[in-house]
Amino acid sequence: MKRVLMVLFCSFALSSCADEDFFQPDALATSEEIGGKAAAGPDSVWVILGRHYDRSGFHRFFWGNHNRKLWNTPVKLPVFKLNSLHGGLIVVEKGGGYQTTSFELQDSTGRRYALRSLDKDPRHVVSKFWQGTFITNILRDQTSAANPFGALVVPPLAKAVGVYHTNPRLYYVATNDTIFGQYSHEVQGKVFMLEEKYKHRADIGPDFGKKVIGFEDSEDALRQRFSKNSHHFNQKAFAKARLLDLLLGDWDRHKGQWDWALTTQGADTIYNPIPKDRDQVFLKMKDGVIPFIATNKLLARKFHTFDHDFSDVKAYMINAAFMDERLLHELSLKDWESIATEMQQQLTDEVIENAVQQLPPPVYTLTGEKLAANLKSRRNLLPDAAAKMYHVLARRVTIPGSDAEEHFEVKRINNGQVQVTVTRPASGEVPARQLYKRTFLKDETETIILHGLAGDDEFILAGEVGQSILVKIYGGLGEDDVTDNSSVSGWKKYTHVYDTERGNDILFGSETKDMTTEDVRVHAYDREGN
């Protein structure tokens, strides 16, 4: 099937692009100024964000209409003025994005901002072999599936449901602007999105209240979480943020799309999610012959079109799989349903209509009413989508400890239920605490995986039952104690222990399958998702 698709890509790319200069990189026009400053005053201009996405009917039949009308609709945008915006900004560093031009900026108070070009150029994300070929042109053309104004709709929705958020704004950089010095040629005549960054204490704005003490990116937050059992992700807050992703149709929620606001709770540090980079909301993809084929469940499933319902919840979870598995394992179905119902109540018709009205007036005229209707429909279906997301995650659940000491207790209960409790003993100024407790159901969960990581951990299993769930134990690098006193009817063993043969105290029971080995890689755990 993939070979057939490639043939189609090649043949139709050649036929639909041959009559235009789409193969030449310098023909991929940037935002076009209409009338210049004289037409709209010194502080704003009318611009078209992507005239190069205006394609022939033949091309659109095979490659889709997508959001081409939005990319080709003239909108009035303020002119970006580095020296005066937010009291005057300076360039801290140039970003390293492969598809966009980006900068980190700072105002006089130390507040940081990200400035990122709105349009994308995928030349540098493909191998040199394909650069300058029709493949690059196809990728560039399919950027038209994104809604370039979608991020403007997000803040009112996020605020209504209590999810931290940035406040993006669009600006046009004049064709004669030289304030960026050696980088001026990279920004002139382009539209950029400016939004807050969350890195330092100076970035703590009024929206965060007095409890937030700082920020971390995902890399540092994950490293702290797995190093210490006094660092925790706020899983209910993350579930709410992920349901907001579903509402928006935002499929691209990998670990780099999150920052984390730090709060404290006694001796513990809590990480609260801040979604960012909303450039993939309201995707319109499945409306051309080739994209229709390419986005089915066997191929590029994750590029799922935003419409009135959640026809494929799992598609929205593909890019987020690493984060979802590590940050959503505590929650029950009741938790998910409660969060979704609360969000339904918060996302009133008035909230949704106000959010959609943040679009530029010409864009609202084209798509505002339909977008609002789709958001209302998806809001009404949110509890059902939450249940589907829960069931996807519940099939195989991984519960990691940390590099400190933890005690894992597994109780096999009648009717196929398994209760897992994780506690930490007191250590120095860190008091003892129950870290985790959840009861799993056999009808929902096939496998429970426990990772002790590097601490000297204890695993105790108990309960005599007729049916149960497979429990896999990965002791980790420490000297671990494993005691299996559980029993399940039948010949199959429902406790599998993976650890090194030496350096551990393992009491095998009738239910234990010995998977120990001399290879220390047996209990490897992917902490970073690289």
Residues 239-267: tens digit of each pLDDT = 999 999 999 999 999 999 999 999 999 99
Query: What pLDDT, on a 0 to 100 scale, did the predictor assign at position 60?
Result: 73
Q: Averaged over 176-192, what is the pLDDT? A: 92
Q: What is the DSSP letter of 523?
A: G
pLDDT classification of 15: cutoffs 50, 70, 90? very low
Residues 73-121: tens digit of each pLDDT = 999 999 999 999 999 999 999 986 667 899 999 999 999 999 999 987 7
Residue 477 and residue 474: Cα distance in Å, rounded? Answer: 9
Does the pLDDT value for residue 10 go beyond 70? no
Q: Where are the alpha helices (DSSP H) in 257-348?
A: 289-294, 321-327, 333-346
Does the pLDDT value for residue 36 go beyond 50? no
- 326 burial (CB, 10 Å; 0-12 / 13-18 / 19+) is buried
Q: Averaged over 213-226, what is the pLDDT? A: 97
Residue 48 and residue 32: Cα distance in Å, rounded? Answer: 5
Query: What pLDDT, on a 0 to 100 scale, did the predictor assign at position 124?
Result: 61
C-beta of residue 355 within 8 angstroms of C-beta of residue 153: yes
277: left (phi over 0), alpha (psi -120 to 50) or beta: left
Residues 381-408: tens digit of each pLDDT = 999 999 999 999 999 999 999 999 999 9
Lowest mean pLDDT among 57-61, 163-167, 270-274: 57-61
Coil/strand/helix, residue 94: strand
DSSP 183-247: GHHHHTT-EEEEEE---SGGG--GGGTTT--EEEEHHHHHHHHHH-TTEEE-HHHHHHHHHHHHH
Query: What pLDDT, on a 0 to 100 scale, did the predictor assign at position 308?
Result: 94
C-beta of residue 93 within 8 angstroms of C-beta of residue 104: yes
Cα three-residue angle 200-205-211, rounded to 5 degrees: 80
Residue with tokens 């009135």: 308
pLDDT classification of 2: cutoffs 50, 70, 90? very low
Q: Averaged over 409-418, what is the pLDDT? A: 95
| Residue type, position 95, single letter | G
Structure token digits, residue 1: 């099937």
pLDDT classification of 55: cutoffs 50, 70, 90? confident
Does the pLDDT value for residue 276 go beyond 90? yes
Phi then psi for 194, rounded to 5 degrees?
A: -110, 125
Q: Residues 202-229, buried b or exposed e (16+ Cβ, 10 A)?
A: ebbeeebeeebeebbebeebbebbbebb
Higher pLDDT, 275 or 38: 275
C-beta of residue 168 within 8 angstroms of C-beta of residue 90: no
C-beta of residue 300 within 8 angstroms of C-beta of residue 139: no
Structure token digits, residue 449: 């995986």
Residue 25 and residue 9: Cα distance in Å, rounded? Answer: 19
From 485, 526, 492, select the one nearest 507 (Cα to Cα).
Answer: 485
pLDDT classification of 412: cutoffs 50, 70, 90? very high
Query: What pLDDT, on a 0 to 100 scale, did the predictor assign at position 98?
Result: 64
- 51 burial (CB, 10 Å; 0-12 / 13-18 / 19+) is middle
Name the strands in the sheet holding 396-400, side by side, starting at the edge strand that comes first in the sequence.
396-400, 447-451, 470-474, 495-498, 512-514
Residue 101 and residue 391: Cα distance in Å, rounded? Answer: 39
Lowest mean pLDDT among 130-144, 164-178, 314-328, 441-455: 130-144
Rg over CA atoms, the chain: 26
Does the pLDDT value for residue 202 go beyond 80? yes
Residue 22 and residue 15: Cα distance in Å, rounded? Answer: 12
How far are the Cα atoms of 184, 239, 313 from residue 317, in angstroms, in the given order? 38, 12, 7
C-beta of residue 193 within 8 angstroms of C-beta of residue 151: yes
Q: How many residues does the chain have?
A: 530
C-beta of residue 263 within 8 angstroms of C-beta of residue 216: no
Structure token digits, residue 455: 């601490």
Residues 137-163: tens digit of each pLDDT = 777 777 888 999 999 999 999 999 999
Beta-strand (E) ranges in 266-301?
268-275
First and final C-alpha spacing in the chain: 29
Query: What pLDDT, on a 0 to 100 scale, did the predictor assign at position 287?
Result: 83
Residues 330-380: tens digit of each pLDDT = 999 999 999 999 999 999 999 999 999 999 999 999 999 999 999 999 999
Pairing of strands 464-465, 487-488: parallel
Query: What pLDDT, on a 0 to 100 scale, did the predictor assign at position 97?
Result: 64
Query: What pLDDT, on a 0 to 100 scale, did the predictor assign at position 20?
Result: 40
HSE (CB half, 13 Å, CA atoms) of 165? Answer: 22
Structure token digits, residue 330: 């505590």
| Percent of the residues in the chain that have a pLDDT greater than 90, as a whole number | 73
Residue 520 and residue 478: Cα distance in Å, rounded? Answer: 11
What rounded mean pLDDT belongs to the chain?
88
Does the pLDDT value for residue 135 go beyond 70? no
Phi then psi for 239, rounded to 5 degrees?
A: -60, -40
Residues 226-239: tens digit of each pLDDT = 999 999 999 999 99
Query: What pLDDT, on a 0 to 100 scale, did the predictor assign at position 203?
Result: 95
